[in-house]
Each structure stands twice: as structure tokens, then as C-alpha cells.
Amino acid sequence: MSATDPHYREAAAAEAAMAEFYGTVWRPKPGERVRVPRAFGGGYQPGTVHSCEPAGTWLVDTAEGRLRLYTEELERI
């Protein structure tokens, strides 16, 4: 995506505004420990961020296997 694309500029402006209102936007990094929802049943489980997918999802290694999750589903521990 190009910086001249209006959608890119709109997304960048929204992220900047959210950072100003809520504080710094947290971006997980590979190797970081997180808490994520269980794939089966209720509750949460610990995991390790593996990588970021192009669709804005994250691959997280857990005891239940590698899960694909959105940023909103990840919690720093």
C-alpha cells in the first residue's frame, strides 16, 4: 500500500488519533509472551507470538497448537 493511497492515510490518521487518546498503540513482537483465548472451551492460555500475517492477524504458538488471532485477542503478560 502506498502512502499516497487515501485509505492508507485515513488508517494512519486513525491510528495516530487512537494513540493520542488511549496512549501508545501496542504492537506485538515475535517472541513476546501473551495471553490468548482457548481454541476449545472457555478461558485463556499463555502463548508466544510467532509472526504477523499480511491480513493483520497474528500467529501465536500455544499448548493447543499455532492459532491465528486478531490483535484485540492478544493480551500482554
Considering only residues 47 and 72, tell me which one the structure prediction assigns the higher pLDDT. 47
- pTM for this model (two decimals): 0.67
pLDDT digits (tens, 9 = 90+) for 4-19: 777 888 888 887 787 7
Average pLDDT over residues 30-58: 92
% pLDDT > 70, the chain: 92
Question: Could you tell me the pLDDT band of residue 62, with boundaries at 50, 70 and 90?
Answer: very high
- Give me the mean pLDDT over the 62-66 stretch: 95
- Torsion 28-33-34-36 (CA) sign: positive
**Which cell numbers in the block locate residue 33?**
509472551
Average pLDDT over residues 62-72: 93
